[in-house]
A and B are shown apart, each in its own frame.
Chain A
Amino acid sequence: QVQLVQSGAEVKQPGASVKVSCKASGYTFTTYTIHWVRQAPGQRLEWMGWINADNGNTKYSQKFQGRVTFTRDTSASTAYMELSSLRSEDTAVYYCARASCSSTTCYAGFDYWGQGTLVTVSS
């Protein structure tokens, strides 16, 4: 069965960087795009961007442009999200999610999600 398993919780100081991993199993990793979504405590889901697991192309939300980097390791079926210059407002649960592909499009939504990684930014 399809699974996305993320790395564990992190506590970081303001100004530091964090790197979260997302290991995929149960399907061919390079066939689907991986999206990253975050959710601050009690807040809405916020789309951060995506990485094409096949060719490594990326797209970032304007809000995070310049501060976030998505990478992937196809040999390990793992995607990574690195967020730099952390501030308290970045405290959130970060999710990876697989793009949902229907018969007509791969823009249909997100069908499988990781369990989430809590990143706490605090001095």
Chain B
Amino acid sequence: QSALTQPASVSGSPGQSITISCTGTSSDVGSYNLVSWYQQHPGKAPKLMIYEVNKRPSGVSNRFSGSKSGNTASLTISGLQAEDEADYHCCSYAGSRTWVFGGGTKLTVL
């Protein structure tokens, strides 16, 4: 079970939009609408930002949105703010009651 592929880093200026990709295979991302995204600040536990590809938990800003096409899921953050600077991890259900995470992406707000 290989990790999902994410870019190591992305950056953007305040107010801009950025998109982080998460590429898997037809056995995980491509087969299930069960991709989730997590925000992790240094030294903190991950926080659920998106579940089931494009759903936001209560309390998460609508600046965060998710989508999927084929074997690739994406997280878009619009109206970038300084507090969005963090690591972002994608995760997908991979069948047989197993899950797989991505490599993580460091977002820098310039």
A positions within 8 Å CB-CB of B? 35, 37, 44-47, 50, 59, 61-62, 95, 97, 100, 102, 104-105, 107-111, 113-116
Flag if A95 contacts B45 (CB, 8 Å): yes
Flag if A113 contacts B100 (CB, 8 Å): no
Contacts of A46 in B (CB 8 A): 101
Residue B51 interfacial (CB < 8 Å): yes
The 25 listed contacts between A and B (C-beta, < 8 Å) are A44-B104, A45-B38, A45-B46, A45-B104, A46-B101, A47-B91, A47-B99, A59-B97, A61-B1, A95-B45, A100-B51, A102-B51, A102-B52, A102-B55, A105-B34, A105-B52, A107-B93, A108-B36, A108-B52, A109-B34, A109-B36, A109-B48, A111-B57, A113-B46, A115-B45
Residue B30 interfacial (CB < 8 Å): no
Contacts of B55 in A (CB 8 A): 102, 108
Flag if B51 contacts A108 (CB, 8 Å): yes
Instruction: Indicate whether A107 sits within 8 Å of B34 (C-beta atoms), given known contacts A61-B1, A113-B46.
Output: yes
- A49 nearest in chain B by CB position: B98
Flag if A44 contacts B48 (CB, 8 Å): no
Give the B interface residue count (CB, 8 A).
25
Contacts of A59 in B (CB 8 A): 97-98
Considering the complex, which residues of chain B in the window 5-37 have a beta carbon less than 8 Å from any beta carbon of chain A? 32, 34, 36
Distance in Å: Cβ of B51 to nearest Cβ of chain A: 4
B81-110 CB mask vs A (1 if < 8 Å, else 0) is 000000001010100011111111000000
Contacts of A50 in B (CB 8 A): 97
Flag if B89 contacts A45 (CB, 8 Å): yes
- B4 nearest in chain A by CB position: A44
Considering the complex, which residues of chain B in the window 34-64 have a beta carbon less than 8 Å from any beta carbon of chain A? 34, 36, 38, 45-48, 51-52, 55, 57
Contacts of B101 in A (CB 8 A): 37, 44-47
- B50 nearest in chain A by CB position: A109
Flag if A113 contacts B1 (CB, 8 Å): no
Contacts of B103 in A (CB 8 A): 44
Q: Which of B52, B102, B104 has the most CB of A within 10 A?
A: B52
Q: Which of A44, A46, A97, A105 has the most CB of B within 10 A?
A: A44
